[in-house]
Amino acid sequence: MKQIIIILSILFSAIGVMAQDGKDIVTKTYKVDGNCGMCKKRIEEAAFVKGVKKAEWDKETHVLTVIYKPSKTNEEAILKSVAKAGHSSEKMEAAEADYKKLPECCQYKTNTCND
């Protein structure tokens, strides 16, 4: 009886490992334009679409790190949401109308933010 339980435990463990093929979660980084703490909050919130587990933007390096499930979202959806919030990335430019909606301090093209 103990041998059957051990064999079943090993079998179920092996099935669980095979189901995790390494494509369940992806980590990507993108260069995203912004200036300040308000930009950080806006970029991270915009990047946090359905399927994203973590989004973190570094104000000093302007790098957005996103951890997401490719079965639920993709790079284009994430960067499109960030662009819609007014912030351009290396792969997707924000529309001028969306950029103009940013507070004056957050308008990164002018370099006028003191934060």
Give the pLDDT confidence of 54-103 residue by residue, as tens digits.
999 999 999 999 999 999 999 999 999 999 999 999 999 999 999 999 99
Which CATH number goes with the domain that contains 61? 3.30.70.100
Angle between helices 37-47 and 75-84 (to 10 degrees): 140
Q: Where are the alpha helices (DSSP H) in 61-114?
A: 75-84, 96-100
pTM, entire model? 0.78
Give pLDDT, residue 4: 56
Distance between CA atoms of 51 and 33, rounded to whole angstroms?
Answer: 23
CB 56 within 8 A of CB 65: yes
- Whether residue 29 is predicted with pLDDT greater than 70 in this model: the reply is yes
Distance between CA atoms of 14 and 6, rounded to whole angstroms?
Answer: 12
Give pLDDT, residue 111: 74
**12 domain-assigned:** no
For the chain, percent of residues with pLDDT exceeding 90 = 73
Phi, psi of 2 (to 5 degrees): -65, -35
**6 domain-assigned:** no
**8 domain-assigned:** no
**92 domain-assigned:** yes
Total domains present in the chain: 1
**10 domain-assigned:** no
